[in-house]
Chains A and B, each alone.
Chain A
Amino acid sequence: MLTSLAWHSLKSRKQSVILTFFALFISLSVLLTVEHIRVQAKDSFARTINGVDLIVGAPSGQLNLLLYSVFRMGSPVNEIKYQSFIQLKQDPQVSWAIPIALGDSHKGYRVLGTNQDYFEYYKYGDQQNLAFLTGQKFNGIFETVLGYEVAKKLNYQIGDKIIIAHGVAATGFNQHALSPFVVTGILAPTGTPVDKTLHVTLAGIEAAHLPQPHLKKLLANESKINPDRIHPDSITAIMLGLKSKFSTFTVQRQLNQYPDDRLMAILPGVAMTQLWQLTGTLENLLRLISLLVLIASLIGLSTMLLASMQQRKHEINVLRILGAGPGVIFSLILAEAILLMLGSALAAIGFISLNLIVLSGWLSTEFGLFISANLFTVTTIKALGLTVIATILTALLPAIEAYRSALQCGIHSNN
């Protein structure tokens, strides 16, 4: 009965209630978006790589190396010798090594040159291996395995032929048109940058870059050539798995002082922490701003309720005469505030979810962010809980005002 009364009371003050609703809706949308994306972005980044002990690349910043080798963001400043990869692979402390050669693209998606070990040792999420949706690993020089999103967005199937371009622009003019790659497999979705990657052999990358006469010769004799014998002189990075985790720092030190090549080894976890530290300040700033916006709109709510108090004097009087105690009047005002806040929260959740569903493709291609549209995470529920408490606190002022008015009411003769 009281909830219904609060609802009708809100309805009777449509204009100010709708404005307050929008103020709350906007501020809650900002708050929930910031909280949700903050946590999801971390999750999304953290689950991209798992089980890799060290990433080796040319010396630059460790964040830079992490971003271009794992997240396909930015470009490598320098390359490392292919010979270093061979030597590392044979190192007794190393369990496995995956070579990574970047630099080409196909319609805006990055092409990754690697070998078959990639499908065996690369892990993401909770130690999950890459799985094939259809098809299998590449074998020949001009074969490619597509990430889930590449195949889905560009509508490729097994057996399709793809031409890769030099560079990473969506419309590279320097196309390796003579040497199309055949799709042999499509990977299952992972929710990581792997979904947006075309995987080819190192031999394929090297061959595609050969001068035209050499390439024609090679194409003519393709079946007779062992793909392992063609390799580039340099690659972009190496992902390493070690036999013992305890040797991680030793190996890292050895690699940083490697005599035959200029190398830098990083621990993905440490680099990730550096990334969080970097984004942490910005994150906190965003949270602070969204909090202030929320507080401003809650003050608006309180103002709206206080302003209605004059108009409510008669109503409060009627309710008191009907036998409602001052406590009932007090909770009625609180109920109105909470109703309004919950309504706005529901609208905000719906709005954000809808946006995330619509924008998820764009977020993943542009920023490598895989954000779930499910808003009911611990963080957002916590944020909502705090908002309810804040709403009650700000509604206390008008509620106390109503309580006082309730105590002073009675029959007032005007004569």
Chain B
Amino acid sequence: MSAQFEEKRSSPQTAIDITNLKFSYPGSANPQLCLNHWQVESGDNIFLYGDSGSGKTTLLNLLCGVLQPEQGKIKLLDQTFSNLSGRKRDQFRAKHIGVVFQQFNLIPYLTVQKNIELAAYFGQTSPAKVALKMKQLLADLNLPERSENQRANELSVGQQQRVAIARALINQPEILLVDEPTSALDYTARNAFIKLLLALSEQSGSTLIFVSHDLSLKSYFKSCLNMQDLNQLNTH
């Protein structure tokens, strides 16, 4: 669509590389996650499903650096992410990882524009670039232009989720983590949402990890992974 979206980048071959990962929540005796090896190629899109408690959310939190592994190593974009300091991880997340969650993705009292600018501020994307890109993203996401100046809590849930995609993609992140984004949407809205998400993710060349327990969505994705298979906790 735009030159900026098609911009070639020298992205590393491997987006995610996890070895010997072990994690348990503080205070809990039983480990929550155990992962010998998992590698995701750059540009891939993966549908990750599994029951509650299978460790999907824990994995996402580890990938975005909010949680720290007990053992093992997480490499993101050829950088050893899990060794970085908290501040460095925050910076890395701001620049390279876009996140969309189930709900409450936006600061309710800020306008759509402010919400997106806030992400750009933390990701250190230049304001000149942001203005142009925001317009394109909002247009691509079928959001009316006036919604830019609407407060996030004035939008419908579906619109809010679409703004969340724009917000997550504004810094052109290499990795996009999405957690149950459609659970608040109805069937038609859900399908439209996923198609848009996939298209835009591909345009910006992001690696997409999509977490859901709704197996009917599986067909949209290149590869599909059961969390129970990934988490080797149960095989021991």
Contact = CB atoms under 8 A, between A and B. Distances in A.
Interface of A: 1, 4-5, 8-9, 11-12, 314-315, 317-327, 409-415
Contact of B57 (A9, A323, A411): A411
Given A317-B104, A318-B104, A321-B64, A11 B109 contact: yes
Contacts of A323: 90-91, 93-95, 122-123
25 contacts: A5-B110, A8-B107, A8-B109, A8-B114, A9-B109, A314-B104, A314-B108, A315-B107, A315-B108, A321-B99, A322-B119, A322-B122, A323-B90, A323-B93, A323-B95, A410-B57, A410-B61, A410-B67, A411-B60, A411-B61, A411-B101, A412-B57, A413-B56, A413-B102, A413-B211
Contacts of A409: 66
Contacts, number: 82
A415 B52 contact: yes
A9 B108 CA distance: 9
Contact of A318 (B52, B105, B211, B213): B105
A320 B102 CA distance: 16
B118 interface: yes
Interface of B: 52, 56-57, 60-61, 64, 66-67, 86-87, 90-91, 93-95, 99, 101-102, 104-110, 114, 117-119, 121-123, 177, 179-180, 183, 211, 213
B90 to A, nearest CB: 5
Contact of A415 (B91, B106, B114, B213): B213
Contacts of B183: 415
Given A323-B91, A324-B90, A413 B107 contact: no
Contacts of A5: 107, 110, 118
Contacts of A1: 117-118, 121
A1 B123 CA distance: 13
A317 B61 CA distance: 12
Most B CB atoms within 10 A — which of A317, A327, A410? Answer: A410
Given A9-B109, A409-B66, A415 B104 contact: no
Contacts of B211: 413
Kindly list the 7 A-B residue pairs having the minimum CB-CB distance in the complex, ordered from nearest: A323-B94, A12-B109, A410-B66, A323-B122, A314-B104, A410-B61, A413-B57
A310 to B, nearest CB: 13
Given A314-B108, A411-B179, 11 more contacts: A8-B107, A8-B114, A315-B107, A320-B66, A322-B118, A322-B122, A324-B122, A327-B87, A410-B67, A412-B57, A415-B183
